[in-house]
Amino acid sequence: MHTNRAWKIKGNGGKLHNLNSHRFFIDHQCASCGWSFEDIPDRSSIKTLDDYKAFWHKQIKEKHWKKKWNNQGVHQLFDNIKKGDFLWTRDSGEYFVAEITDDPKNLFYFDTSLEATDNDCSAQLKNIEWVKVGKEDSVPGSVSFYPGFGSLVRIDSHEETINQACPYTPTSLFSALCLKPSQNLMKKHKITNKMEFFHLIGYAAAEDLVALWLYDRFGYVTIPSTNKISTEKYEFALVDTSIDDSGKYINHKKIYIQVKNGNVNLNTNDYSSLLLENEEIWLISTLGTIDNKKSSSRIERLFRKSSNISIEKYDINELLNFVFDKNKQKILPTSITQWIPLFL
């Protein structure tokens, strides 16, 4: 059974990768990864994908370019994408998705028109219908995040199929639901592995989730202005709202948060040296590791105790339990709760 995968195409065509080709994609119901060979008269002879591949290799050889077909986006577009896969792109902050409804070899079309050439979109995957989904808060984090520098990237490469009888990954299931909203599809393919939730939420939603969990668990409150400060060491700062019997706040400590949503490693040594007295740093890697240790304890609290650095560990499932606890969901933003119905 073929696994329906999800891909994202950049749409920056041209030799300098400075063209906004994605607008051409949407207007002309196609996708392209460049290599239009605009200066070569013989290109008008290209009719099929096999013609195009032969032409591509001939030009590379004649021009002595050190390029390999298997390293190019056009290879991914026509050889690796399969019927039933989904393709994403973005234009002016809006995300669009399309389904590949046939073998890409059958959808190949070489367009020599001036408009296609000017947009570096001559070699096209044609007859795909783009559907607007919405802005960043409407799509999974796997879609809004672009992993790598290639013109075309598979964005669910770290995801498993929902179950053995299901052809979808969480991201491709969401893609299918965008195109064909179906209660039957949702009921038939509920996601059982709650860890997949982190593939669906974006980095901003992950930060919101951590902040709300810390408020619920420890009474920590975010200082909004600190989220605007550009720093590699923390995302935002919080304060402890613990009070005594008289209503007086009893702690003056500052809490700093570093959240990585995805398969990212965090090193405690990069942060422990920043700690002053009466401060905490929280490290969270939702799907990665801390200090390269494979463990579910991917939440760590670092603080100074008698001039030494102490570390408390928490299980990443605490965040998931918080999300799926119906008693807590009313304080969660839509960017988090919209994904809950996809799970059992």
Q: What is the mean pLDDT of each run of 10 residues along the chain (344 residues)?
A: 91 76 94 93 94 96 92 94 96 95 97 95 96 90 76 89 86 91 75 90 90 96 79 81 91 90 90 86 94 92 87 96 97 92 84
Q: What is the pTM of this model?
A: 0.80
165 SS3 class = coil
- Residues 282 and 300: beta-carbon distance below 8 Å: yes
Q: Please calculate the CA angle 317-224-91 and round it to the nearest 5 degrees.
A: 80
Q: What is the pLDDT of residue 256?
A: 92
Q: What is the pLDDT of residue 183?
A: 65
Q: What is the pLDDT of residue 2?
A: 86
Q: What is the pLDDT of residue 140?
A: 87
Return the H-helix or E-strand segment holding 55: helix 49-63
- Residues 11 and 25: beta-carbon distance below 8 Å: yes
Tokens coding 67: 């390029």
The neighbouring-strand residues paired with 153 are 8
